[in-house]
Amino acid sequence: MSEHALPRRTPRPRPVAHPNGWWGMALFLASETVLFGALLGTYWYLRFKAVHWPPLGTPEPKVVLPLILTAILVATSVPMQAALRAAREGRLGATRLALAVALAVQATYFGLQIHLFLDDLTKFSPGGHAYGSIYFTLLGAHHAHVAVGLLLDAWFLLRLSTGLTRYRLGGLWATTIFWHFVNALAVLVVLTQLSPAL
Amino acid sequence: MAATEVLGPRARERIGRLDRIWEERPGLVGWLTTVDHKRIGLLYFFTTLAFFGAGGVEALLMRTQLSSPDGHVLGPDRYDQVMTMHGVTMIFLFVIPMTTGAFGNYLVPLMLGARDMAFPRLNALSYWLFLGSGCLMYAGLFLNMGPDAGWFNYVPLALKRYDPGLNIDFYALGLIFNSISSTVAAANFVVTIFKLRAPGMSLNRMPLFVFAMLAVSLSLLIALPSLTVDLVFLELQRRLGFHFFDVGHGGSALLWQHLFWFFGHPEVYIIVLPAFGIATSIIPTFAKHRMIAFPLVALAELLVAFIGFGVWAHHMFATGIPTVTLVFFAAASMMVVIPSTIQIYAWTVTVMMGRPEFKAPLLFIGGFIAFFVVGGLSGIMFAAIPFDQATTDTYFVVAHFHFIIFGAAVFPILGGMYYWFPKVTGRLYHEPVAKASFWLTFAGTALTFFPMHIVGLLGMPRRVYTYQRGLGWDAYNLSETIGAFILTAGLLLIFGNLLWSRFRGPPAGPDPFFGGTLEWATSSPPPHYNFAVIPTVTSPYPNWDRADREEDARKLEAGELVLEEGHETPASTVRDGYLDEVLEMPSESWWPLTLGLLITVIFVMLLLAHFVIAGIFGALAVLALGGWHLQEPAEA
**CB–CB contact A31 B222 (8 Å):** yes
What's the CATH code of the domain at A147? 1.20.120.80
Residue type, B433: V
pLDDT at B631: 86
Q: For residue A37, list chain B residues with Cβ-Cβ distance below 8 A.
A: 225
CA distance A83 to chain B (A): 20
Average pLDDT over residues B94-100: 97
Instruction: Identify whether A42 is part of a domain.
Output: no
Global pTM reads: 0.95
Per residue in B593-630, pLDDT (tens digit) is 999 999 999 999 999 999 999 999 999 999 999 999 99
Tell me the HSE value of B434 on the side-chain side, using a 13 A CA sphere.
23
Instruction: Identify whether A54 is part of a domain.
Output: no
Find the closest chain B residue to A27 by CA distance: B187
Q: For residue B194, list chain A residues with Cβ-Cβ distance below 8 A.
A: 23
Per residue in B474-530, pLDDT (tens digit) is 999 999 999 999 999 999 999 999 999 999 999 999 999 999 999 999 999 999 999
For CA atoms A80, A86, A91, A97, the dihedral sign is negative
CA distance B480 to chain A (A): 40
Find the closest chain A residue to B236 by CA distance: A133
**CB–CB contact A165 B194 (8 Å):** no
**CB–CB contact B573 A14 (8 Å):** yes
Average pLDDT over residues B58-75: 95
Give the whole-angstrom CA distance, residue B180 versus residue B228. 9
Per residue in B113-125, pLDDT (tens digit) is 999 999 999 999 9
Average pLDDT over residues B346-373: 96
Q: What pairing do the DSSP bridges indicate for beta strands B568-572 and B579-584?
A: antiparallel
Give the whole-angstrom CA distance, residue B227 versus residue B88. 13
User: In 3D, which of A189, A187, A173, A197 has the Cα closest to residue A26?
Assistant: A173
Separation of CA B67 from chain center: 30
Give the whole-angstrom CA distance, residue B92 versus residue B99. 11
User: In 3D, which of B67, B65, B63, B70 has the Cα closest to residue B468?
Assistant: B70
pLDDT above 50 for B427: yes
Look over chain A and give the mean of its residue pLDDT values, rounded to a whole number.
92
pLDDT at B2: 44
pLDDT above 70 for B442: yes
Give the whole-angstrom CA distance, residue B375 versus residue B409. 11
Query: What are the phi and psi torsion angles at B398 (to 5°)?
Result: -60, -40
User: In 3D, which of B350, B423, B469, B386 has the Cα closest to residue B66?
Assistant: B469
Instruction: Identify whether A5 is part of a domain.
Output: no
> pLDDT averaged over consecutive 10-residue blocks of chain A (198 residues)?
49 71 96 97 96 93 95 98 95 96 98 96 95 97 98 96 92 97 97 93
Find the closest chain A residue to B122 by CA distance: A24
Q: How far is CA A2 from CA A148, B538, B543, in A?
A: 47, 9, 16
Q: Which residues, listed in sequence order, are joined to residue B507 by a DSSP beta bridge?
A: B427
Q: For residue B249, list chain A residues with Cβ-Cβ distance below 8 A.
A: 128-130
Give the whole-angstrom CA distance, residue B429 versus residue B431. 6
pLDDT at B633: 83
pLDDT above 90 for B202: yes
CA distance A47 to chain B (A): 9
For the purposes of burial, counting CB atoms within 10 Å of the CB of B606, is it exposed (0-12), middle (13-18) or buried (19 or more)?
Answer: buried
Instruction: Identify whether A8 is part of a domain.
Output: no
At residue B9 the predicted structure's pLDDT band, cuts being 50, 70 and 90, is: confident
For CA atoms B444, B448, B449, B450, the dihedral sign is positive
Give the whole-angstrom CA distance, residue B140 versus residue B169. 9
Separation of CA B144 from chain center: 28
Tell me the HSE value of B338 on the side-chain side, using a 13 A CA sphere.
14
**CB–CB contact A1 B540 (8 Å):** yes
The region of weakest confidence among B111-125, B151-165, B565-579 is: B565-579
Average pLDDT over residues B468-472: 93
Give the whole-angstrom CA distance, residue B209 versus residue B197. 14
Give the whole-angstrom CA distance, residue B36 versus residue B42. 10
Share of chain B above pLDDT 90, in %: 92
pLDDT at A10: 56
Annotate chain A with three-state secondary structure.
CCCCCCCCCCCCCCCCCCCHHHHHHHHHHHHHHHHHHHHHHHHHHHHHHCCCCCCCCCCCCCCHHHHHHHHHHHHCHHHHHHHHHHHHCCCHHHHHHHHHHHHHHHHHHHHHHHHHHHHHHHHCCCCCCHHHHHHHHHHHHHHHHHHHHHHHHHHHHHHHCCCCCHHHHHHHHHHHHHHHHHHHHHHHHHHHHHHHHC
**CB–CB contact B243 A127 (8 Å):** yes
Instruction: Identify whether A47 is part of a domain.
Output: no
Would you give the DSSP letter of residue B166?
S
pLDDT at A198: 84
Share of chain B above pLDDT 70, in %: 99
Strand, coil or helix: B394: strand
Provide the domain count of chain A.
1
ipTM over 0.90 threshold: yes
**CB–CB contact A6 B200 (8 Å):** yes
Q: For residue B122, list chain A residues with Cβ-Cβ distance below 8 A.
A: 24
Look over chain B and give the mean of its residue pLDDT values, rounded to a whole number.
95
Average pLDDT over residues B349-376: 96
pLDDT at A11: 53
Q: For residue B578, list chain A residues with Cβ-Cβ distance below 8 A.
A: 11
Instruction: Identify whether A7 is part of a domain.
Output: no
Instruction: Identify whether A158 is part of a domain.
Output: yes
Best of A14, A32, A42 to disrupt the B interface (most B CBs within 10 Å) is A42
Instruction: Identify whether A127 is part of a domain.
Output: yes
Q: Which helix (H) or strand (E) holds B27?
A: helix B27-33
- How long is chain B? 636
Query: What are the phi and psi torsion angles at B572 (to 5°)?
Result: -125, 175
**CB–CB contact B576 A32 (8 Å):** no
Best of B219, B245, B255, B628 to disrupt the A interface (most A CBs within 10 Å) is B255
Tell me the HSE value of B467 on the side-chain side, using a 13 A CA sphere.
24
pLDDT above 90 for B392: yes
Other beta carbons within 10 Å of B297? 23
**CB–CB contact A11 B622 (8 Å):** no
Q: For residue B225, list chain A residues with Cβ-Cβ distance below 8 A.
A: 31-32, 34-35, 37-38
CA distance B545 to chain A (A): 10
**CB–CB contact B250 A165 (8 Å):** no
User: In 3D, which of B414, B390, B406 has the Cα closest to residue B449?
Assistant: B406
Domain extent, residue A102, equals 65-198
